[in-house]
Amino acid sequence: MPTISEKILAEKSGKKRVEPGEIIEARVDYVMLNDVTGLPAFEVFEKFQTEPLKNRVVLIPDHYVPNKDIASAKQAKAMREFVRKYKIKNYFEVGRGGICHQLMIEEGFVAPGRLIVGADSHTCSYGALGSFATGIGSTEAAAVMATGKLWFKVPETQKFIVEGKLNRYVMGKDIILHIIGDIGVSGSLYKTMEFYGSVISKLSLSDRITIANMAIEAGGKAGIIPPDGKVFDYLKGRVRGDYREVYSDPDAIYSEKFEYNAEEIVPTVAKPPLPENTAPASELGNIEIDQAYLGSCTNGRIEDLRIAAEILKGKKIHEDVRMIVVPASKRIFEQAVEEGLIKIFMDADAYVSGPTCGACLGGYMGVLAKGEVCISSTNRNFIGRMGHKDSRVYLANPAVVAASAIKGRITDPNEL
């Protein structure tokens, strides 16, 4: 009767079975920190007066890459010093990595059945490959580095089923925005979201990662998609160590079940100030934009760049719009170069950057001024998320972002 979450947490805690609401202590497979969350974790870790569990620690600078000021340089330096002091092998320096969540998957740390934590809320992305992954604080990350364990409250699990055939230009981003628009940003509070159905099975890993990534935007503790052949093929020659896939029992108990008809999902936009504030892109055509942003751990993969390039090819970005394109990792950037995608973006007058989180969190590389409007493939549109508190961020899939960049206003790509 257990769900995927319950099975993974039971195994990692050495129990035959765990129940929702139960407090357990579980062995963690990997703990990840970035340049922002690392410094406070290192300071706490030193109080343990021990050696870190090196093989289970992954350190990835990505938020302010390359450093934008003295404060971010200090954060990055602290990570490098920690790496050298303790000889941490799993460290990905600027120019050798990318956005942390993409890199964790690319580099084979993520696999079905694993328990992974990260000092970043979008660690839940890894559930797309059948792991239980969740975000934690820097203090908790320090404890995991020292002990290899962490306490958890076993979450209840919700089941989301999407059946039917997807409409043109509808992607994983639209599916998760549609769900969040239905249940709200607290609809999965401290629960695991499990995703099923013929539509989910047909999705690329890229779209699945997008869905799992934004489980946190519904309040979820984790977002999990049962692993299948696409996952196993991806992991061949990539995964580190052995793994064992885990599935929910046929009679697993879910706190709630939700069913959706794919034909009813259209290119969707989340209006500020919350991801639940959704509407069809076709209904927002009167909203002019200043910036179009394509990238992030949510939608910076090669599939995302391909669909945007397909729309932009042979066209120019609107004269009143600036477009910023940020591949999520070095590998993706290289592949985009090989496929000619970067040339398409640059021919359209887009600005292309190396991998960084910068603009997504309002750090740099695309910060918005007062009154500016951005259509973005990122995951959050809170007040001040990408800059000034009086700027506005609209969340959308890469196709909508590209179409909007051309038209100078929010645009359903089907309009083109």
Other beta carbons within 10 angstroms of residue 40's beta carbon come to: 18
Cα-based distances in Å from 287 to 224, 240, 372? 34, 46, 11
**pLDDT (0 to 100) of residue 146:** 98
**pLDDT (0 to 100) of residue 412:** 98
CA distance 137 to 269: 30
Return the ∠ at Cα 202 (arms to 200 and 207), rounded to 5°.
65
Enter the pTM of the model. 0.97
DSSP per residue over 2-58, as a string? Answer: --HHHHHHHHHTT-S---TT-EEEEE-SEEEEEHHHHHHHHHHHGGG-S---GGGEE
Nearest residue to 192 via CA among 220, 214, 217: 220
**pLDDT (0 to 100) of residue 227:** 98
Structure confidence by residue, pLDDT tens digits, 124-144: 999 999 999 999 999 999 999
Other beta carbons within 10 angstroms of residue 374's beta carbon come to: 29
**pLDDT (0 to 100) of residue 21:** 98
Q: Contact 17/112 with Cβ under 8 angstroms?
A: no
| Residue 267, preceding peptide bond in cis (omega within 30° of 0) | no
Q: Contact 38/65 with Cβ under 8 angstroms?
A: no
The CATH-assigned architecture of domain 269-411 is 2-Layer Sandwich (3.30)
CA distance 284 to 271: 9
Structure confidence by residue, pLDDT tens digits, 179-236: 999 999 999 999 999 999 999 999 999 999 999 999 999 999 999 999 999 999 999 9
**Hey, where are the domains in the chain?**
4-260, 269-411
CATH number for region 4-260: 3.30.499.10
Residues in the chain: 416
Number of H helices, E strands in the chain: 14, 17
Other beta carbons within 10 angstroms of residue 405's beta carbon come to: 31
Strand bridging mode 191-196 / 156-163? parallel
- Interacting residues of 38 by C-beta distance below 8 A, sequence separation 6+: 59, 61, 75, 78, 79, 82, 119, 138
For each successive 10 residues of the chain (416 residues), what is the average pLDDT? 97 98 98 97 97 96 96 96 98 97 98 98 98 98 98 98 98 98 98 98 98 98 98 98 97 98 98 98 98 98 98 98 98 98 98 97 96 98 97 98 98 97
- Interacting residues of 43 by C-beta distance below 8 A, sequence separation 6+: none
**pLDDT (0 to 100) of residue 214:** 98
Which tokens belong to 42? Answer: 């290192």
CA distance 397 to 403: 10
CA distance 391 to 395: 13
Mark out the alpha helices in 87-242 (DSSP H runs). Answer: 100-106, 138-147, 172-183, 198-202, 205-213, 229-235
**pLDDT (0 to 100) of residue 335:** 98
**pLDDT (0 to 100) of residue 75:** 96
Q: What single-letter DSSP state applies at residue 305?
A: H
